[in-house]
Structure 1
Amino acid sequence: MKKFILHLVGALLILVNQTALANSSATEENADTRVSQQREYLLGPGDRVNIEVYGDEELTMKFTIDKRGGVNFPYIGYVQLTGRTTEEIELDMEARLKADYMLDPMVTVQMNSFRKFFITGEVEDPDGYEYEPQLTVEKAIALAGGFTDRADRDDINIRPSGSTELQENVNLTDAVYPGDVVIVEQSFF
């Protein structure tokens, strides 16, 4: 009888250990999913950037990305910036400058200011606000002064930039991107 109880306790300990490992693995997967949801920032019209060519002060400039999505840069002409990361632009500009103008150019592209996201509905100060990296719905609401007394905290939607579709009932931890519209609905009770 003692052997049976010892085997039963041993089997239960193994089962508990496997369950704990499975739960920690699922938690790690959820964390990985949240991190992967934060995509790299892609430039767009209205963003302001500083472009610096090391060693050539005349080629160090500040630009606001135009409605077509780019800027005119000396020697190489129009450079498309929209939909690209700063690193991609640096590599492109270095290659274009190296092709005809410079021996070994080093280009740095830095964000000066981000374009806006918008928040409407039942927040204290509905308006457009400058995007901030790692922006979430919760942070967006805080920037807008928080919820009003009539806000339905469980009915928050996002209309992604350039889309007609509405992401309904989003979580406070969901990401917000430039050009997105966050909508906080009114509570009826």
Structure 2
Amino acid sequence: MKLLLLACCVLISSISFAETDTTAAPEKEVQSAAPVVSTSGHPSIDNETRKYFLRPGDMIRIWVYGEEEMSMSLKISKRGVINFPFIGLVQLSGQTTDAIEQDIETRLKDGFVLSPMVSVTMEEFRKFYLLGEVENPNGYEYEPQLTVEQAIAMAGGFTDRADESDINIRPSGQKEMIKNVEMTDPVYPGDVVIVEKSFF
């Protein structure tokens, strides 16, 4: 009888331990599955992939191998779409060049072109703008990996009245400004860089 009671106690303890262990496991899975959030905040750049999203004013080249009438260079309009031969409207603004390639290829395969090969490349980025206390405030053609320092140099440098520690950027398409940026911070197409005036 004592042996039977002892066996029952051991069995109950092992079942309780097993239940506790299985309820702890899902918590670890939930924590490891937490989504990774991009911290970029810039509408033109994906912070994780560094892919560039096209906007009106960018110029691209669409090339379809062996199909001259479908190959073209164009500047993206404010509408952000084009009427492409055979397949109709293609969304450009807000897309990457890779996404546009895949879209056109997929739709051309649907009875129009056998095994289409499509290439979409950047020809010219839209301008960025420099305002305030620089020698030549204006819009300038964007160059990849541009920094604030390089952008100011393109505008002829600071004026004598410039506050070199008070430089702000209004990202493309946004109302809020990034305050007091560093000279090494990036500038992107469509951005407005503003150099404030010194009061001393």
TM-score normalized by structure 2? 0.73
Query: Alpha carbons of 1:58 and 1:139: their partners in 2 closer, same or farther (altered >3 Å)?
Result: same
Query: Alpha carbons of 1:42 and 1:97: their partners in 2 closer, same or farther (altered >3 Å)?
Result: same
Query: Within 2, Cα distance between the matches of 1:39 and 1:183?
Result: 25
Secondary structure of the residue that 2:74 maps to in structure 1?
Answer: strand
Q: Which residue type is aligned with residue 74 of structure 2?
A: F
Match of 2:102 among 79, 91, 97: 91
* 8 A Cα contact 1:37 1:175, kept in partner: no
Structure with the higher fraction of residues in helix conformation: 1
Q: Deviations over 1:108-155 (max 9, x none)?
A: 111121111111011111001112111111111111111111111110
Q: What aligned pairs does 1:64-75 form with structure 2 within 5 A after superposition? A: 64-75=75-86
Query: Alpha carbons of 1:182 and 1:38: their partners in 2 closer, same or farther (altered >3 Å)?
Result: farther
Instruction: Give the match for residue 104 of structure 1.
Output: 115
Q: Which residue type is aligned with residue 199 of structure 2?
A: F
Deviation at 1:61, TM superposition (A): 0.9
Secondary structure of the residue that 1:99 maps to in structure 2?
Answer: coil
Gapped regions of structure 1 (runs ≥ 5): 1-32
Query: Within 2, Cα distance between the matches of 1:44 and 1:88?
Result: 14
Calculate percent identity across the aligned residue pairs: 64
Instruction: Give the match for residue 170 of structure 2.
Output: 159
Supply the RMSD in Å over aligned alpha carbons.
1.7
Instruction: Give the match for residue 9 of structure 1.
Output: none
Deviation at 1:188, TM superposition (A): 1.6
Q: Which has the larger radius of gyration?
A: 2
Deviation at 1:39, TM superposition (A): 3.3
Q: Deviations over 1:22-55 (max 9, x none)?
A: xxxxxxxxxxx9xx58932211111111110011
Q: Which residue type is aligned with residue 181 of structure 1?
A: V
Moved over 3 A (4+): 36-39
Q: Deviations over 1:62-113 (max 9, x none)?
A: 1111111121211111111111111111111111111121110010111121
Secondary structure of the residue that 1:183 maps to in structure 2?
Answer: strand
**Number of residue equivalences:** 155
Gapped regions of structure 2 (runs ≥ 5): 1-39, 41-46
TM-score normalized by structure 1? 0.77
